[in-house]
């Protein structure tokens, strides 16, 4: 008996035993079609995996971290360790303690920080995959909208966490971010008292801490529940196609023939999850994060104010001559509203990129815009940019993309539709197939053998 068959039989027997005693099948996610056994179909699950790692590592950091700006004598030791005799703020000192005195503390803190970068990066991969493959189209419009809110909250986690080590850099960057946040239309004035509290730096730190460890994670968990429930109700989105009549919702009857989530898909995802944690630890061990100078340290030169990489584009925007904070906030709001309502703007029923030139052009150009602005922001933080230099840098991104996407559409869309019509006869739409959309029945044994 081959290893695959033996493995499957053993897995089925063990799982059958567990299921029999727990009714697991009733609360596991629904079965999924065979074509979903590819990492690209589970980009969202990778984000959940990253989120879970953040929750676990964050809970461990909480054992030592103190969200206080107090500089009483207890915290003189940290100051002495870094060569100043003055006491340092407790938040900074407790971070210093985690790095230098807690066993594996530096690794824990570094993985938490790099894990946040990874989560945001994976989130953008998840978003852009959905954008290019048109997964937001009916019936998944609400999944997309809830996802957009999750994006905002995840960026909120990054923003509120940045202040917690209480370095001069994180303090200055948070200050700039707050100035921008308070200019948000409608929400800005409402957020003001909540963020600033009594106007002291302790008030600010307490609020950032509360939002970071409690309020935003709770909101993410609630929205994630909605996101997964919606996913559960439609089944996974089928591959992108030029067929406007593609069936995009799986029925319960089909589910019976598909791959059970437990244990097959769960194990498949766990494999990737473990790889993620391994890579994270490897990077953190090779390049541990170093703590900057504390807030109020007058013995060192003030650092150049810059945020984490995912907000650099916004910081650079404010550097453009003529772009006030209000305008920068207005531009980000327009981008967010575009993302939120995209399912209602892109009304065509075809999901394949070759059939959606306008939206592909816009999405690819915005991707180019964000990457350029991020690199630019990192290289020249705080340096004013005249309008001509802005145009020279950004206009080619939109122009070159227009030509590339236009050529792609012209070359492939019409010829593909002709071939599709010829294949199906009399122009009738293709019956969804394994290469198109349909769920192919599959024996559980075959699937596990792939793992």
Contact footprint for ligand HEM (CB under 6 A): 42-45, 47-48, 51, 123, 126-127, 130, 135-136, 140, 143-144, 147-148, 150-151, 154, 224, 227, 231, 236-237, 339
Question: What does residue 66 show for φ and ψ, rounded to 5 degrees?
Answer: -120, 115
Q: Which is nearer to ligand HEM, 123 or 362 (CB)?
A: 123
Please count the helices (runs of H) and the strands (runs of E) in the chain. Answer: 18, 0
Least separation in angstroms between residue 299's CB and ligand HEM is 41
Q: What is the DSSP letter of 258?
A: S
Whole-number Å distance between alpha carbons of 250 and 433: 14
Which residue number, 118 or 127, has a Cβ lying nearer to ligand HEM?
A: 127
Cβ proximity to ligand HEM: between 157 and 314 the closer is 157
Residues 6+ apart with CB under 8 A from 332: 314
Neighbours of 251 (CB within 10 A): 10
Alpha helical stretches, state H, 23-140: 24-27, 43-62, 76-81, 90-100, 105-132
Q: How far is the CB of 272 from ligand HEM (least distance, A)?
A: 11
* Residue position matching structure tokens 């802005």: 390
CB of 394 to ligand HEM, least distance (A): 24
CA distance 51 to 119: 7
- The minimum distance between CB 46 and ligand HEM, in angstroms, equals 7
Cβ of residue 170: shortest distance to ligand HEM, in angstroms?
A: 23
Do the Cβ atoms of 303 and 175 come closer than 8 Å? no
Question: Minimal distance in Å, beta carbon 247 to ligand HEM?
Answer: 14
Could you tell me where the beta strands, DSSP code E, fall in 221-292?
Answer: none
Which residues on adjacent β-strands are paired with residue 320?
A: 385
For 321, 340, 367, 377, the CA distances from 328, given in Å and listed in that order, are 12, 18, 18, 14
- The least distance separating ligand HEM from the CB of residue 315, rounded to whole angstroms, comes to 22
CB-CB contact of 207 with 195 (8 Å): yes
Q: What is the C-alpha separation between 69 and 205, in angstroms, rounded?
A: 8
CA distance 149 to 167: 29
Q: Which two tokens stand for residue 268?
A: 């498949």
**Closer of 111 and 148 to ligand HEM (Cβ):** 148
Residue 113 or 135: the one with the smaller Cβ distance to ligand HEM is 135
Kindly tell me which of 213 and 224 has the beta carbon lying closer to ligand HEM.
Answer: 224
CA angle, residues 44, 49, 53, in degrees to nearest 5 = 145
Looking at the DSSP bridge assignments, the partners of residue 259 are: 32
Q: In angstroms, what is the minimal distance from the CB of 228 to ligand HEM? A: 6
Least separation in angstroms between CB 43 and ligand HEM: 5
Q: Which is nearer to ligand HEM, 99 or 150 (CB)?
A: 150
Cβ-based nearer residue to ligand HEM, 68 or 351 = 351
Rank residues 48 and 447 by Cβ distance to ligand HEM and give the closer one: 48
Minimal distance, residue 384 CB to ligand HEM, in Å = 33
- For residue 434, the SS3 value is coil
């Amino acid at each position: 008996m081959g290893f695959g068959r033996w493995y499957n039989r053993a897995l089925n027997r063990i799982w059958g035993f567990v299921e029999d005693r727990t009714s697991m099948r009733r609360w596991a996610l629904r079965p999924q079609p065979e074509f979903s056994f590819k990492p690209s179909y589970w980009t969202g699950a990778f984000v959940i995996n990253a989120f879970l790692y953040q929750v676990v590592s964050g809970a461990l950091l909480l054992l030592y971290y103190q969200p206080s700006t107090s500089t009483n004598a207890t915290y003189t030791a940290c100051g002495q360790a870094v060569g100043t005799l003055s006491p340092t703020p407790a938040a900074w000192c407790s971070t210093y303690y985690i790095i230098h005195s807690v066993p594996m503390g530096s690794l824990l803190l570094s993985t938490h920080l790099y894990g946040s970068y990874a989560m945001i990066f994976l989130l953008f991969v998840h978003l852009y995959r959905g954008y290019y493959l048109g997964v937001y189209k009916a019936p998944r419009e609400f999944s997309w909208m809830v996802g957009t809110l999750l994006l905002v909250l995840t960026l909120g986690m990054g923003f509120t966490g940045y202040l917690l080590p209480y370095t001069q850099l994180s303090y200055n960057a948070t200050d700039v971010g707050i100035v921008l946040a308070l200019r948000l239309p409608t929400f800005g004035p409402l957020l003001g008292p909540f963020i600033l509290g009594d106007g002291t730096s302790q008030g600010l730190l307490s609020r950032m801490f509360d939002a970071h460890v409690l309020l935003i994670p709770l909101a993410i968990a609630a929205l994630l529940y909605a996101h997964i429930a919606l996913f559960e109700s439609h089944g996974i989105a089928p591959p992108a196609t030029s067929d406007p009549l593609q069936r995009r919702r799986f029925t319960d009857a089909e589910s019976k023939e598909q791959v059970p989530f437990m244990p097959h898909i769960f194990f498949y995802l766990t494999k990737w999850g473990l790889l993620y944690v391994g890579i994270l630890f490897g990077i953190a061990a090779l390049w541990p994060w170093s703590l900057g100078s504390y807030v109020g340290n007058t013995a060192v030169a003030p650092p150049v104010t810059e945020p984490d990489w995912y907000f650099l584009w916004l910081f650079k925007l404010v550097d453009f001559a003529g772009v006030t904070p209000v305008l920068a906030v207005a531009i980000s709001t327009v981008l967010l509203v575009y993302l939120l309502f995209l399912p209602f703007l892109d009304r065509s029923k075809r999901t394949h990129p070759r059939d959606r030139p306008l939206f592909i052009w816009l999405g690819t150009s915005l991707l180019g815009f964000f990457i350029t602005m991020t690199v630019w922001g990192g290289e020249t933080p705080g340096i004013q940019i005249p309008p001509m230099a802005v145009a020279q840098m950004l206009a080619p991104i939109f122009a070159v993309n227009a030509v590339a996407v236009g050529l792609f559409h012209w070359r492939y869309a019409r010829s593909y539709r002709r071939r599709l019509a010829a294949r199906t006869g009399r122009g009738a739409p293709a019956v969804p197939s394994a290469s198109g959309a349909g769920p192919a029945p599959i024996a559980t044994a075959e699937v596990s053998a792939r793992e």
